[in-house]
Amino acid sequence: MSISENWPSPENEGSSPAKAFVVSAAHSIENWIGQFCRAILLLTGLFLLGILTLVVALRYWGGGSIDSGSELSALVFPVFVMAGIVEAARMGAHVATQLLLHALKSQWRIRLVVLIHSVTAVVYLYLAWYALLNAIIAHDELSTTLKVPGSVGYGCLATGLAFVGICSLTAIVRHTVGKEEVLVNLSDAGPGVV
């Protein structure tokens, strides 16, 4: 279930078609990023489980090992972690200000959330840019066994950082253009503020 399914639709609030399109595009981008990250989490999680199971089985029952087992794990694990970070950020779990938001009135909640998402977007997009520059520099470095360019890890990092920044930008659009409320549920142990 996507987090945007519970939000009011701009079409129902009498907004202009352009605003409705922008908010709908923000929801679509956010949903696509969420589906992509969940697929990456599933695939990399299963891959890591499989490779670790195979390495343990070979080590204890076969007396051998896979030469590239640790290198594969080291290559895939950061992708797994970055997909989890993006999904957490998309769901609002990266914002730990629920008590303050709960104490604020609706208009101040939106202002604080827009400020938080603005800072998050600027910082993460800035970091994504520099991770991309590092990917270009690290492209000539090759891993020992698999000969994977060093740019792969930096590229995954840059993509994940950019996704967090994009999710923050879509949240700004949803709250400013779409006039969506900031939902704070202190009784929910799940993600933070969306």
| Buried/exposed code over 138-162 (b: 16+ C-beta within 10 A; e: otherwise) | beeeebeeeebebbbbbbbbbbbbb
Query: Would you state the structure tokens that stand for residue 54, as one six-digit string?
Result: 């195979």
pLDDT digits (tens, 9 = 90+) for 92-123: 765 456 677 778 888 888 898 899 899 999 99
CA-closest candidate to residue 82, choices 11, 165, 143, 141 = 165
Cα–Cα distance for residue pair 97/112, rounded to 1 Å:
9
Query: What residues are paired with 149 via a beta bridge?
Result: 142
More confidently predicted of 65 and 138: 138
Query: Would you state the structure tokens that stand for residue 144, as one six-digit string?
Result: 């020992």
CA-closest candidate to residue 116, choices 102, 137, 95, 146 = 95
Mean of per-residue pLDDT scores for the chain: 83
Query: Would you state the structure tokens that stand for residue 87, as one six-digit string?
Result: 């999904």
pLDDT digits (tens, 9 = 90+) for 26-42: 999 999 999 999 999 99
pLDDT digits (tens, 9 = 90+) for 143-160: 877 888 888 888 999 999
Averaged over 3-13, what is the pLDDT? 46
pTM, two decimals, is: 0.77
